Amino acid sequence: MERPLVNSTIIGLIALVFVVPLAMVISMACMSFGGSGPNGFSTEGYSEILSTLRLRELLVITTRALLVAATATCVAFLVSWSLFRVGSERFLLFFLTLMTLPFLANEAVRVFAWQHVLSEDGVFNALLSRVAGGDVRLFNATNNLNVLVVMVLNCIPFGVFISTASLKTVPAIYWKVSNDLNLSSTSMFLKIALPLSKVALYASFVVTFFIAFSLSSEVNFLGGASKISLRNLVLSLMSASKFQSIFALGALMTLLIVLFILAFRRVRSSQLLSMS
Amino acid sequence: MRLRRIILLLFLGLLTLPLASLFVLSFQNVDGATFKWYFSILENEKFVSALILTTLVSMAVGAATVVLSFVLSLSWYDRRQLSVVLVLILVVGLLPPDIFSLGLNKFAQAIGFRSSNLFFLITGLVAYTLPIGVLLFWARFYFIDRSIVIAARDIGMKGPSILAKVILPLSSATITACFLLSFLLAFNEYPRTFYLSGSATLLSEFLNGKLSSGADESIYAAGSSTILMSVIVIAGYVVVHQLYARRKAMQELQESAP
């Protein structure tokens, strides 16, 4: 059974095509660039990216991504649990299909659309003003709330897909036994769904973190005082011809992804152990 | 149960409300609700040529993704290959698009091109859609009983005929889904297009430029037309999915008949 259906050389060749840009990123991170291109070994890229100014920018991007990932993971899991409890396959298909729509829309169009809804005279502030009975301007282009809300809402679909797939693959016997024991919905959530979805929650957090880290149109369109985003950082390094710093950042992120993969294996094996 | 459904529908409304509002705005002008902005944007030559080029590029990306992700997803049946492909799709999928695209751009320059071109753009877009394609196929393979492949081997079938006679027919709906999803993702992708399109202008670049400058109101129609495209493709997929499910149910009924 474990005999491969496809030759490993073919898989290796396809992988090579996509590994080449990665290899370029990692190797060029250690080069200095002259007028015509790279010329020699240098650690300039790393020292620039680790300078106080760049570290401050990266800290803002990372903190925002962590906040977005944590919120999106929690909300997505609750949405998946509700979907799972509703139980209807038709409703699930309808919900997941419609939920993919914003995710499949053009990034600029999607954020531009949010700009209208979250503007000072937009729907959200109008609703809040009506509820609070005054002139509420909570959502505006001068704070980071618009950026955070839209980033979270953009990341939730990824978390919902991962968590729903995880809940769907929990062996049916768990739900049958919990029904036989007359467990309440909350107990089922806390004692079965949450512990058995440890891997999904971890995967959901990691995926949404990296997506949120890369999202930049939200910052450019929806404001926030600082306008700090990954794309603006990359463009500012490009305009200063500091390509090696961009690639140094890429190399560090590749390392981070590999570390997350190794940690994922640990989480997965610990969950399998606890299940057995 | 009803309350849960209502909450979920409200949440869905929240996610889709901005796109719906943009769609409504695209019909509004001083003369009332008309198609004025749509006619106006269709007269814009840059928009039309960007739309045609983007459609062609996205179709190429869709086709390449189906082939490559199908081949890579066959690693499902071999533990060692599975680990390699999993690491590959995670690294390629999670690395920020700005950095990956610049790496590809530098590679193009390193092998003698002055700047990126459509070939590198398609490669960059396939790198974006490939992880999703592979995951789609793996999700399908999860539900294909492994004993079917074992039985095929036991009756003497070789790898290629197992692929052609067992795996491919069982994956036909996934192939359609993979093509449509890759098409839409490539159609609407901005960061990779921005770094890799070279001298060509694709729709997402056109839209980003226009939306950033807020030049004229016909941009509402341009934005809405991309949403409409996504809706049509998703609706098309749902119809195909339903037809496939119905055909499968009919086949099972015929097989179980005495």
Please write down the HEC assignment for all residues of A23-73.
HHHHHHCCEEECCCCEEEECCHHHHHHCCHHHHHHHHHHHHHHHHHHHHHH
Each residue's pLDDT tens digit, B41-74: 888 899 999 999 999 999 999 999 999 999 999 9
Distance CA A100, CA A157 (A): 7
Residue of A nearest to B206 (CA): A108
For residue A202, give Cα distances in angstroms to A68, A69, A85, A208, B85: 14, 10, 22, 10, 20
Q: Please judge whether A5 and B74 are an interchain contact, meaning their C-beta atoms are less than 8 angstroms apart.
A: yes
Token pair for A21: 């840009």
Distance CA B67, CA B74 (A): 11
Give the pLDDT score at A38: 66
> CB of B78 within 8 Å of any CB in chain A?
yes
On the question of pLDDT at B148 being above 90, the answer is no
Distance CA B65, CA B45 (A): 30
Q: Please judge whether A157 and B15 are an interchain contact, meaning their C-beta atoms are less than 8 angstroms apart.
A: yes
The pairing of beta strand B32-33 with beta strand B28-29: antiparallel
On the question of pLDDT at B258 being above 70, the answer is no
Q: Chain A partners of B139 at a C-beta cutoff of 8 Å?
A: 165
The tokens 């897909």 sit on which residue? A161
Distance CA A12, CA A269 (A): 27
Q: B41-256 maps to which CATH number?
A: 1.10.3720.10
Give the pLDDT score at A61: 94
On the question of pLDDT at B182 being above 60, the answer is yes
| Distance to chain A for B255, nearest Cα, Å | 25
Give the pLDDT score at B48: 92
B166-200 in b/e form (b: 16+ CB < 10 A) is bbeeebebbbbbbbbbbbbbbbbbbbbbbbbbbeb
Give the pLDDT score at A101: 83
What contacts B48, CB < 8 A, 6 or more positions away? Answer: B42
- Cβ(B136)–Cβ(A165) below 8 Å: no
> CB of B216 within 8 Å of any CB in chain A?
no
Give the pLDDT score at A32: 77
| Distance to chain B for A267, nearest Cα, Å | 16
Token pair for A97: 């299909």
Give, for all 276 residues of chain A, the pLDDT tens digit. Answer: 457 888 889 999 999 988 888 888 888 888 876 666 667 788 888 898 899 989 999 999 999 999 999 999 999 999 999 999 887 888 888 888 888 888 888 888 888 888 888 888 888 888 888 888 888 777 776 777 888 999 999 999 999 999 999 998 888 888 889 888 888 888 999 988 998 898 999 999 999 999 999 998 888 888 766 788 999 999 999 998 888 899 999 999 999 999 999 988 888 888 777 776
On the question of pLDDT at B31 being above 80, the answer is no
For residue A92, give Cα distances in angstroms to A149, A253, B139: 24, 35, 16
Q: Chain A partners of B203 at a C-beta cutoff of 8 Å?
A: 106
Q: Can you name the residues that pair with A33 across neighbouring β-strands?
A: A38
Among B11, B78, B203, the residue with its CB nearest the CB of A2 is: B78
Phi, psi of A181 (to 5 degrees): -85, 5
The whole model's pTM is what? 0.89
Specify the DSSP class assigned to residue A193.
Answer: I
- Cβ(B202)–Cβ(B50) below 8 Å: yes
- Best residue in B11, B54, B194 for a mutation probing chain A (most A CBs within 10 Å): B11
Give the pLDDT score at B199: 84
Token pair for B240: 């195909």
B76-91 in b/e form (b: 16+ CB < 10 A) is bbbeebbebbbebbbb
Q: How much is the mean pLDDT over chain B?
A: 87
On the question of pLDDT at B131 being above 90, the answer is yes
Q: Please judge whether B8 and A165 are an interchain contact, meaning their C-beta atoms are less than 8 angstroms apart.
A: no
Q: Chain B partners of A230 at a C-beta cutoff of 8 Å?
A: 96, 98
Phi, psi of A40 (to 5 degrees): 105, 165
The answer for B 135-174 residues in CB contact with A (under 8 A) is 139, 142, 146, 149-150, 153, 159, 162-163, 167
| Nearest alpha carbon to residue A29 among B47, B99, B253, B142 | B99
| Distance to chain B for A195, nearest Cα, Å | 22
Each residue's pLDDT tens digit, B108-127: 888 888 777 889 999 999 99
The pairing of beta strand A38-41 with beta strand A31-33: antiparallel
- Cβ(A31)–Cβ(A39) below 8 Å: yes
> CB of A96 within 8 Å of any CB in chain B?
no
- Which amino acid is present at B52? I
Give the pLDDT score at A37: 63
Distance CA B167, CA B145 (A): 11
| Distance to chain B for A179, nearest Cα, Å | 16
Specify the DSSP class assigned to residue B199.
Answer: T
Q: Chain A partners of B21 at a C-beta cutoff of 8 Å?
A: 113, 116-117, 123
- Which amino acid is present at B128? Y
Each residue's pLDDT tens digit, B219-231: 888 888 888 888 8
Token pair for A172: 């049916």
Distance CA B253, CA A232 (A): 58
Q: Can you name the residues that pair with A31 across neighbouring β-strands?
A: A41
The tokens 């906040």 sit on which residue? A67
Among A2, A82, A116, the residue with its CB nearest the CB of B8 is: A82
Evaluate the CA torsion angle B25, B29, B35, B36 in order and state its sign.
Answer: negative
For residue A165, give Cα distances in angstroms to A146, B154, B217: 30, 32, 41
Instruction: List the domains of chain A with CATH numbers.
Output: 8-275 (1.10.3720.10)
Phi, psi of B90 (to 5 degrees): -70, -45
- Best residue in A1, A3, A5, A22 for a mutation probing chain B (most B CBs within 10 Å): A5
For residue A163, give Cα distances in angstroms to A80, B32, B191: 6, 45, 27
Tell me which of A224-233, B82-91, B178-187 is least confident.
A224-233
Q: Please judge whether A234 and B97 are an interchain contact, meaning their C-beta atoms are less than 8 angstroms apart.
A: no
Q: What is the ipTM of this complex?
A: 0.85
Q: Chain A partners of B204 at a C-beta cutoff of 8 Å?
A: 106-108
On the question of pLDDT at B156 being above 90, the answer is no
Token pair for A269: 């094996």
